[in-house]
Chain A
């Protein structure tokens, strides 16, 4: 029996009920959302359940949505069942004031550096991580540069405001 998005969704909903939300399949990949304190339960279930078997962690990263107050940061997991060749994505949202999210390093060794990178750039505090320190940026850095409040361009330039990139303001 090959794994399909419908089967995975059904299995997850049987187990977790309506705690998981936002099921959709953008460009064919099943994607959903879990409450942030449940990320490990979901990962462990996806790993252990024989019918699912998502035992390969492809990627962990984060996204910053400053306008979503109370859930500004999304931690995104990409998982892969290599036997059935099926990929899924799930997200947990956390507020920028309290960025605690449980670490996945107990399940996946690969999560170690992925989470360090995510911490380095977004300031997600992975609770229980064995060595949560900066990885690509200098240790002395005191901010999280991938957050949206740090625009790339020189602030004194007026020719490259957000308007020029299709966001904010209107195009005359």
Chain B
């Protein structure tokens, strides 16, 4: 048998480069969203990484300059689309701050229920995806049907599931139906078991621990300098939570702890998110009890009495002059908006979600800027993964909960 050698003629100097360039994204199974990482590899170790974002930039800030306040809510849906209701509520509260609208207690509690459900849905996705990226698909598939229960509650309240456009300036578009509360009770009853089982799958799982402990770590100091907020900052040991530091929506009445980690690694981020889900459950239960204890008119109200900003009921629009006038004025943007500058922050699932709104008294914002937590902390990724194994960098990406919609705005 004759020996056959196929020689490839290499260009001179072409093997001078000792490292490999690998392109992760913009569409890659590891990125779970549209963004890109170009990593320089020495074997399996990352020498350097460069992150690129902007593939789904939709010019929301520019769009917002041409929309009346109430039309901006659907835009906010599309920031962190895993927890749209928090974005919606944050936006309503920003407007309410500008307009000086006081919401009734029941509205605050209902909002808290929705926001905490959204937080659970978001953390559930993030943590189960960390599982997927470390090779454990089961948890992800298992919890999906319980996220579905949350989405059914959204659906009952506002009619949609992912991009919710839930609530209005001043409250909710309609009262919660009995079905909504039944679905909530079902969730509160069934979910603790599920979360416990989910934790059993991962928390003390030898393989999972080996993959996540001491990988993707960031120190508290660096995390603060990089503008980290939310679970990722708390995992590094800083107990900053907007709900506690600058309470909004009556969060000051609620009893909950702020879970923190110590090392800021992938495992701590996982644990902090899990612990936060338990806290959110407790907050929802407290809010539900508070709602049940309300009496008389306060037990039925679902929006503030602000006819200038809150759309009247459709049946009133068709039968009452006053309601018809307000309906037109709101839709045509004829209501007076005060001039002013407002910064309002809420604790989004990824951290401090801020709205910087400048109004010049026109019908639309003069300038609106979203402080997106994901965008701010993703820039630390290059530093975190430098020197790490490629497979650890993948888990780091999912445990930071990078949401392309929130990065690009």
Report B224-240 CB contacts with A as 1/0, cut-off 8 Å.
11110000000000101
User: Is the CB of B149 closer than 8 A to any CB of chain A?
Assistant: no
With both beta carbons as reference points, the residue of chain A lying nearest to B65 in the complex is identified as A152
**CB-contact partner of A113 in B61, B66, B366, B375, under 8 A:** B375
In the A-B complex, the 9 residue pairs with the smallest Cβ-Cβ separation, listed nearest first, are A110-B227, A136-B54, A166-B363, A166-B362, A136-B57, A61-B369, A113-B379, A59-B371, A152-B66
Interface residues of B in 355-409 (CB under 8 A from A): 356, 358, 360-364, 366-367, 369, 371, 375-380, 383, 408-409
Chain A residues, Cβ within 8 Å of B155 = none
Interface residues of A in 103-123 (CB under 8 A from B): 108-110, 112-114, 117, 121
In the assembly, what is the distance between CA of A156 and CA of B375, in Å? 35
Chain A residues, Cβ within 8 Å of B295 = none
Contact present for A109 and B222 (CB under 8 Å): yes
User: Is the CB of A82 closer than 8 A to any CB of chain B?
Assistant: yes
Query: How near does chain A come to B35, taking the closest CB pair, in angstroms?
Result: 11
In the assembly, what is the distance between CA of A57 and CA of B226, in Å? 8
Contact present for B342 and A26 (CB under 8 Å): yes
Which A residues fall within an 8 A CB radius of B? 26-27, 29, 31, 55-59, 61, 63-64, 76, 78, 82, 85, 87, 89, 108-110, 112-114, 117, 121, 134-138, 145-146, 152-153, 160, 165-167
Chain A residues, Cβ within 8 Å of B376 = 110, 113-114
**CB-contact partner of B409 in A78, A136, A152, under 8 A:** A136
Query: How near does chain B come to A21, taking the closest CB pair, in angstroms?
Result: 16
User: Is the CB of B246 closer than 8 A to any CB of chain A?
Assistant: yes
Chain B residues, Cβ within 8 Å of A134 = 54
Contact present for B341 and A26 (CB under 8 Å): yes
19 A-B pairs, CB-CB below 8 angstroms?
A26-B341, A61-B356, A82-B245, A89-B343, A109-B222, A109-B380, A109-B383, A110-B226, A110-B227, A113-B378, A114-B227, A114-B376, A117-B375, A135-B53, A135-B54, A136-B408, A145-B62, A152-B65, A166-B333
Query: How near does chain A come to B106, taking the closest CB pair, in angstroms?
Result: 25
With both beta carbons as reference points, the residue of chain A lying nearest to B376 in the complex is identified as A110
Report B270-311 CB contacts with A as 1/0, cut-off 8 Å.
000000000000000000000000000000000000000000
In the assembly, what is the distance between CA of A87 and CA of B245, in Å? 11
Contact present for A165 and B66 (CB under 8 Å): yes
User: Is the CB of B59 closer than 8 A to any CB of chain A?
Assistant: yes
Query: How near does chain A come to B56, taking the closest CB pair, in angstroms?
Result: 9
User: Is the CB of B352 closer than 8 A to any CB of chain A?
Assistant: yes
